[in-house]
Amino acid sequence: MYQRGIRGAITIDSDNENDVRKAVIELISEIKKKNEFDDSDISSVLFTLTDDIKCIYPAKIAREEFKNWDKVPMMCVQEMKIENSLPKCMRTLIVINTTLSQDKIKHVYLKGAEVLRKDII
């Protein structure tokens, strides 16, 4: 068994709870679908947000929307402010316990965030 990180990112239309909620649900659902892991396999989750997203913590939404995520250690932090970076972007790193090799992990970038890592999607 190995610990593997799954990367993902998505942009939101505007900084409001509804848009962030939809983005969290869409991104996590797609990551789970593409990587086929059980919630019990999750070691930890990190969310980063650009400084133009301030309305709600993505971890709070994940705990509310995904069964058994109330026990998952999660953190939300502000992304570094880099000139010309992608605005209104939420990124995640989900660390899972798995037997998959690193090259079998499928990273997910949605709604304009594909530009961040064209090399791995």
Q: How does pLDDT run across 42-99, given as a tens digit for each residue?
A: 999 999 999 999 999 999 999 999 989 999 999 999 999 999 999 999 999 999 999 9
* C-beta separation of 19 from 12 below 8 A: yes
> Do the domain assignments include residue 87?
yes
33 occurs within a structural domain: yes
pTM for the structure as a whole: 0.93
Count of domains in the chain?
Answer: 1
User: Is residue 12 in a domain?
Assistant: yes
Bridging pattern class, strands 42-49 and 89-98 = antiparallel
Query: pLDDT class for 37, splitting at 50, 70, 90?
Result: very high
Q: What CA–CA distance (Å, rounded) separates 103 from 88?
A: 29
Residue 4 parent element (H or E): strand 2-11
Domain at 6, CATH number: 3.30.1330.40
Residue 73 lies in a domain: yes
Rounded-to-integer distance, Cα 62 and Cα 48, Å: 14
Residue ranges making up the domain that contains 12? 2-116
CA dihedral sign, ordered 65, 21, 46, 29: positive
Active-site amino acid positions? 7, 63, 76, 79, 91, 109, 117
Contact 107, 8 (CB under 8 A): yes
121 within domain boundaries: no
